[in-house]
Amino acid sequence: QVQLVESGGGLVQVGGSLRLSCAASGRDFNTYTMAWFRQAPGKEHEFVGRITWGVGSTYYADSVNGRFTISRDNANNLVYLQMNTLKPEDTAVYYCAARQWDARSRTHEYDYWGQGTQVTVSS
């Protein structure tokens, strides 16, 4: 009952910044934990970070901690991923995911997924 659409991907230089958006449909958006995953070519989905339901606490993978920030706008059913100091290894398709109430860092914990948006960081 949740549809997710990511946007904001693109090509950036190393050290640059990019903000991804995830628009969610449906009601009770504030009851869903939202997460970002990414998938590089030939690799499995990698957890990037999540923001818990409600006002939200954030958690990040070590690889992006201190550089990426997740936020949510419950009034407008939006989740953001602000990416700073981008590195070539950040190149991947980025996915927004959702699960009602609690979820952590495993892909199987999430029930809803967006189509993904490509982020390419030039080296």
Instruction: Provide mean pLDDT across the span 75-92.
Output: 98
Confidence at residue 65, expressed as pLDDT on a 0 to 100 scale = 96
Q: State how far the Cα of 8 lies from the Cα of 106, in Å rounded to an integer.
A: 24
The predicted pLDDT at position 55 comes to 87
Q: With 90 as the cut, is the pLDDT of residue 108 above it?
A: yes
Contact 94, 35 (CB under 8 A): no
- Burial of 61 (C-beta count, 10 Å sphere; 0-12/13-18/19+): middle
Does the pLDDT of residue 26 top 90, yes or no? no
Joined together, the tokens standing for residue 94 give 């980025």
Task: Judge whether residue 51 has pLDDT over 90.
Answer: yes
Is residue 8 scored above 90 in pLDDT?
Answer: yes
Distance between CA atoms of 33 and 51, rounded to whole angstroms? 6
Q: Give pLDDT, residue 111.
A: 97
Check whether 23 has a pLDDT greater than 90: yes
Give mean pLDDT, residues 32-39.
98
